[in-house]
Structure formats: C-alpha cells, structure tokens
Chain A
C-alpha cells in the first residue's frame, strides 16, 4: 500500500487568489502561498475566512478571475489556461452529500475507478475497502447510510481515484462527536499509509493538531499565520482566538505499560510522561496535546502532589493572554517547548521572568490517536 505513491516526486503547490470586495460583497480574498512537500496541510479558519474558496479554486470548481494555480509541473490556472476539474488529478471529500445519490456504494466506487487516469494497482481496491471498513456497505444506496458511513465511502472513493493530491473540505464537520471519533482514526491511517499530499480544511483545532504536518491559518480571506502545528498553536494567537485551546502537540513513543496502575510511559522530547491508558503496545508512536491551561508552575518539585508529571523547565518568554488577568509562559523542557497559562498574580509571586528555572506540573495530556 505504501508503495502506492512512494515514487512520490516532490510536491509543490502554488496558489494565488485575489478577489476584491467589489466582486463579492463584504468578502475579499488575497492569498499567495507556495507549499513544498507539505504532507498534510491543515487549513484552519473560521467560517467565511476563505478556506473553502481556496479549496474549490484549487479543484477548479470555482473560477476566480486572475488566479494563478499550479501543482508540481502543471499549471492549472493562469491568465491563459484553465484546466477543468475533470482533468485535474485530485480527490475531493466534501463536508457532506459527497456521494452520487442514484448509485450504490459499489457503483460510486466503480464510477471513480472507471474514469481514473492511472492503471489500477493490483489489490488497491481490496485494501481501500478493508482499511475504511466499507465491505458491508457496498450494496447500499447513499441515503441508507449514516453520515459517518457516507464519509468513509467518500474517502475510499477518493483513494481509488489514485489522485496526486487529496482535498478534504471539513470532512468531519457534519458529524457528531461520536462519529468524529470513529472517522479520525481512518483519516490517520489514510495519511500514514498512502503517501499522498492532503489539503485538509477544518475549523477544529483538535483535528488539525492531530492530522496536520503544516498549518495555514486563514482569516478574512488572508493567510495570517503558517508553520508547524506547534509553532501555530503554542502561542496565544489572536487569529485563532481560543485561549482555552492554546497548547503544544508532542510526538512520542510508548516506552512502557504499567498494567497495575494502567499507565503508559510516553517518551517525548520533553522527557517521559505518564499518561493514563495512552496505549499498551510498547513502540507505538502517538501524538499528545498538552493545553496551556493544564500546565502549572512551581519553584520546587512537589513530592506530595497528586500530579504525576513534574519536569524541570526554563522560562523562555512571557506573552499576553486574551484574558488580561492571565499570562502565557513559554518554557523549554529538555529539547521541547511547553506553554503554561497562569495568572499574572502567580507570575509576580513566583517572580517568573525569562531565564528562570522552575518546575512544571502537567495536569492532563490528551492523546490524539
């Protein structure tokens, strides 16, 4: 499976979009981005920030005047050229209603297979069907499926196209929390097992933190922030505007499992963390998210604390929080960064300033996969 796009030449994407307010009332767009080998690109922003316009333009479903779009060595749109959607090698997963309603699941898959540009890979069909677990749905019509099942079929169908890039427009937004939890692992398997660049649009920090290798933050038709998930989500970000969601994402490996207390030891760049039931299989890689509000600071380690994870840290810098009573403290812990959100009064009492060494307590770490 992994060989599917292993010969993955370097990916390079250029998108320039411009749309003045005079064309569409109250909405202007000014995007100029170049991505090179980005892996999974999380496109984050509120509704109306232009992220869907970006994706639809890239797919050719929307033709904005004076746009420039190119993918690898192909120009898809410029002043002279407009490559229609059906000639672009893309997969697209819509937010909902992404299946042809008059065809069964099987016929939907076949519709894609028959029209794809590449010769079929032996066994691809079987593997996609089994990875997305849609074997039992093949004879059903779309309106007989649940929302989550429809999304799984959509994802499977887009993989069978063997596109050179996969676009996903809020694929989980129409689902409730439970269904979301069901689909996320499938998406993760897809991004790991198929070496294919993905543009993933979402307004959920959690989804993006979990899936993305690179993040673009959209606001009012502009890219206002970009970088790795950590660099984007680890600071109080006026563009994200959710101070409760400020935090860091750490990749780690499960190095031990304590059956009695049901605790996993997770080795990360900031040291070993004990996390309840993060996984039982030693060697599994996982991603954890530590929110700033779950990190507290002390001058000395506390031996009589209920909190398991205490690490020594150095203060790098202080930054403001949306809530003026609070402050964000950026810390270095071994080779990683953590962010703590504490009151300004605590900062004064503990005399926290850049360069100071102290201890952090991590109250909770969310395992993202």
Chain B
C-alpha cells in the first residue's frame, strides 16, 4: 500500500491545501466583495490581476516568486529583515506561492455569488435598520453560501493539484516541500511505478469523494446554485 514517503507527501499536500484555502477565504472574501460591489474603475485592473494565474504558465509565476522571495528580491529582503529568513524551499514559501496561484479559484466563485445576490436583499436589510456590516454578515454571507462552498473546494483541490509553482519555489524536500504532485513526478522519473500507482489511485479516490459530497449537497438543495463556471 502507501509507503511512509507517500503518506508524508499526502499529509503535506493536505496541510498546504488547508492552510492556503483558509488564508484565501479570509482575505479573498473582502476582495471578492469589493470586486463585486464597488463602482470604482479600479475593479477592472484588479480583477484582471486576480485572474492572471488562470492564464499564466505556473512556471512563470514560480519564476517571479522565486526572484521576489530570494535574498536579493524585495520580499526576500523584507522577510530577512524580519528575521524570518528567505521563503524559497520552505513550507511557508509554498503557502505564499500557492495563495497567489489559487487566488482566482477562491475569489471568483465568491465574487460571482455576491454579484448574483443583487442589490435588493441588501436594500431590504438597510430599510429594516441593518448597518453595512450587519447586512454583510446576516444577508450577503448566507446568500453567498453556495459560492463559498465552491470556492473552498476549488481552492483546496487546485492547491493539491499544483505542480509548476511548487517545483520552482519549493523544490523537493521531504516533509517540507515534497507534496503529492512532486512525489508523483519523482516516482515516474525513477520508473517506480509500483510506488506511483497507489499514490495516484489514492488521489483519484480523494478527489472523487470530495466532488461527490459537493454534488450530493447540490442535489439536496434542489437547485444547482454552486457555480463551477469560473469566468475571467
């Protein structure tokens, strides 16, 4: 079955995906709200930047991140000054890279959900005496729930599946940056198919179960509100 190395890779992938998803939900939600509701002309360029990882080759993103986070990059100098060392080839570096790479997969479903609420429910809440924050918590968040579910699953799954960015900035350090996708690559490179098979099968099963839960949830709700259509 799964060797300890494979198990470690799976654990690391799950940890990374959980961290990234959590961070993105926290910071992506206000960003999605702003993109959905603001009338500022800045929403167009910001929206385009958020969508960039959808079209950029991951290696390009990884290359720039590597430069930025390295000892001579701005980010690297900042983290070094703060006494954190440099981020490349560390788990924290992977988290930062993955957050950027998975950003659109979390922000866009939430943004679409916020947009589809429309003005009316928020106007109603305002009439009933709810302050802006009150309206956000008691009306916008509950009505955007399907969007949050989609965002969580897409963000999580996409982080697990990433390869290019990890390879560029993470390398291949066991228990630190050797996630499942890198481990798979190693196995295949080494022609260790007996190792690759169980790992691949485990990932297929895990992904299928996750999606199964999502689709059952949609069926129970009776309408397919969860939006997989990630639009640019």
Q: Footprint of B on A, CB under 8 Å? A: 59-61, 84-86, 90-92, 94, 97-102, 111-112, 115-117, 157-158, 161
Contacts and interface: CB of A to CB of B under 8 A. Distances in A.
Contacts of A158: 127
A112 B130 CA distance: 9
A93 B143 CA distance: 21
21 contacts: A59-B127, A61-B123, A61-B127, A85-B126, A86-B128, A86-B135, A90-B127, A91-B127, A94-B124, A98-B120, A100-B121, A101-B121, A101-B143, A102-B142, A111-B130, A112-B128, A112-B129, A115-B128, A115-B130, A115-B134, A116-B129
B149 interface: no
B126 A99 contact: no
Contacts of A98: 120, 124
B142 A117 contact: no
A94 B138 CA distance: 20
B191 to A, nearest CB: 55
Given A84-B126, A86-B129, A91-B127, A111 B138 contact: yes
B124 A99 contact: yes
A210 B116 CA distance: 38
Contacts of B138: 111
Interface of A is mostly: loop
Contact of A100 (B129, B132, B139): B139
A102 B129 contact: no
Given A101-B121, A101-B143, A111-B138, A61 B129 contact: no
B128 A61 contact: no
B127 to A, nearest CB: 4
Contacts of A85: 123, 126-127
Interface of B: 120-121, 123-132, 134-135, 138-139, 142-143
Interface of B is mostly: helix
B130 to A, nearest CB: 6
Contacts of A97: 120
A299 to B, nearest CB: 58
Interface core residue of A98, A100, A117, A158 (most chain B CB under 10 Å): A100
B120 A111 contact: no
A147 to B, nearest CB: 15
B143 A86 contact: no
Contacts of B132: 86
Given A94-B120, A97-B120, A100-B121, A111 B126 contact: no
Contacts of A92: 124, 127
Nearest to A160: B128
Contact of B126 (A61, A101, A102, A117): A61
A84 B131 CA distance: 9
Nearest to B117: A101
A157 B129 CA distance: 12
Nearest to A60: B126
Nearest to A112: B128
Nearest to B135: A86
A158 B130 CA distance: 14
A54 to B, nearest CB: 16
B123 A161 contact: no
B128 A161 contact: yes
